[in-house]
Amino acid sequence: MRTRIDIEQLEYDSLAAYAMKSRESAGRVIHEEPHGVRTCYQRDRDRIVHSEAFRKLEYKTQVFAILEGDYYRTRLTHTIEVAQIARTIGRSLRLNEDLIEAIALAHDLGHPPFGHAGEYALNDIMLAAKTTGFNHNFRSFEIVTKFEKRYPNYDGLNLSEEVLIGILKHQTDYDKAGVSHQFKAKGTTLEAQVVDIADTVAYLTHDIDDGLTSGYITSEDLMDSDLWQDVYKQMDDNLPQHNKSMLKYQIVKFLIDLQIRDLLAQTTKNLKRLQFASSKNVMGYNAQKKNPPVIGFSPKMKRQRDKLQALLNQKLYHHYQVERMTEKARRIINDLFAVYEKNPRQLSYELFPLKSKMTKQQKYQVICNYIASMTDRMALHEHKKFFDPYEKI
């Protein structure tokens, strides 16, 4: 039988010097005795998978609303795809795959219903109330440190510090890092950076897949991108006898592979130049805001991705049908917030005790947390109960 100690030794024998080893973890906020057969990051991953917030991802929007069709990606399928891509990258770079997987599986736990449309709506409401706004990364952090109630001795999941920092400081072009004074001065691991970039690979390629399937975009819409042209021509030449559906799947597959190969080549160059002797060196480097990420694409691939992303912004994310979904989501969020704000006693006693004395900001935070915890279907059902006179309360 392989024990935790055996696995930890295997990490030292097989992982790179710059990888974060389980034995080197800064630990948990509340001390727990080590498990007999699982490392700390394996336990973190398992706690995340068994959480209520993780299960809810199945019914939360990625780009296309859940009710638009069963084919389109949800937050859960996107999360699984990010974890798979991130582990592939981490394995090649000899990083800690368990830490990567834990961060990847938790990176979107804080998303409200209706994807980014829901996030923007809540953020606008909270900023207008003179609060710090709504940030889904910080919301993810709060879920795993406070809102999950699964253990008798503490709130949250009591995850390892490196996982918490990776969740809080998750950052892409669309995701701003959350802020917590607890970890403000601490840098991320390379494993966390791998999740950041795997997220961008997943949403770029898979949004194309969903966009083509929906018919909202066509291959011709993306031909201004030289990256798309190169991939399309190569696949079209190799698969002339196949149908468009097969061609689409192969293009998406090849596009992912092309990005990962470029990423690995550029990151290997970066690592050779920086010569990190330990994960501690990495986190010290990453704590300096002036330093660029170690995990990254070549300048050429960055330019190609930016051009393709710009086309998606123009052709897909601002397609009139997507805009309608976005507007509908905003209206639902705003309507629900207004109802609860006008009379908070419509919330359960657990959320809003009858004798509770709250400031306006505190009241708004309670309502925001409640709405953010909803799935798309729950938000739609709640909205229907309030605004459809024939619907039972």
pLDDT of residue 73: 83
Q: Are 191 and 20 in contact (CB under 8 A)?
A: yes
Which residues fall within 8 angstroms of residue 328, CB to CB, at 6 or more apart?
65
Give the chain's domains with CATH numbers: 4-32+51-320 (1.10.3210.10)
Token pair recorded at residue 385: 């109960």
Amino acid at 302: K
Question: Buried (b) or exposed (e) across 173-209, using 16+ Cβ within 10 A?
Answer: eebebbebeebeebbbbbbbbbbbbbbbbbbbbbbbb
Which stretches of 244-298 are DSSP H helices? 244-274, 279-286
Tell me how crowded residue 164 is: count the other CB atoms within 10 A of its CB: 27
Which residues fall within 8 angstroms of residue 187, CB to CB, at 6 or more apart?
165, 282, 283, 284, 285, 286, 287, 288
List the pLDDT tens digit at each of the 393 positions of the chain. Answer: 999 999 999 999 999 999 999 999 999 999 999 999 999 999 999 999 999 999 999 999 877 655 555 667 889 999 999 999 999 999 999 999 999 999 999 999 999 999 889 999 999 999 999 888 999 999 999 999 999 999 999 999 999 999 999 999 987 665 555 555 677 778 999 999 999 999 999 999 999 988 888 889 988 999 999 999 888 877 766 666 667 778 788 888 999 999 999 999 999 999 999 999 999 999 999 999 899 999 999 999 999 999 999 999 999 988 998 899 899 999 999 999 999 999 988 888 777 765 567 888 989 999 999 999 999 999 999 999 999 888 887
What is this structure's pTM? 0.93
Question: Which regions of 118-254 does DSSP assign to beta strands (E)?
Answer: none
pLDDT of residue 354: 55
Closest alpha carbon to 159 in 307, 15, 50, 321:
50
Token pair recorded at residue 309: 């992303």
Interaxial angle between packed helices 161-168 and 190-214, expressed in degrees from 0 to 180 and rounded to the nearest 10: 40
Question: Buried (b) or exposed (e) across 334-369, using 16+ Cβ within 10 A?
Answer: eebbebbeeebeeeeeeebeeeeeeeeeebbbbbbb
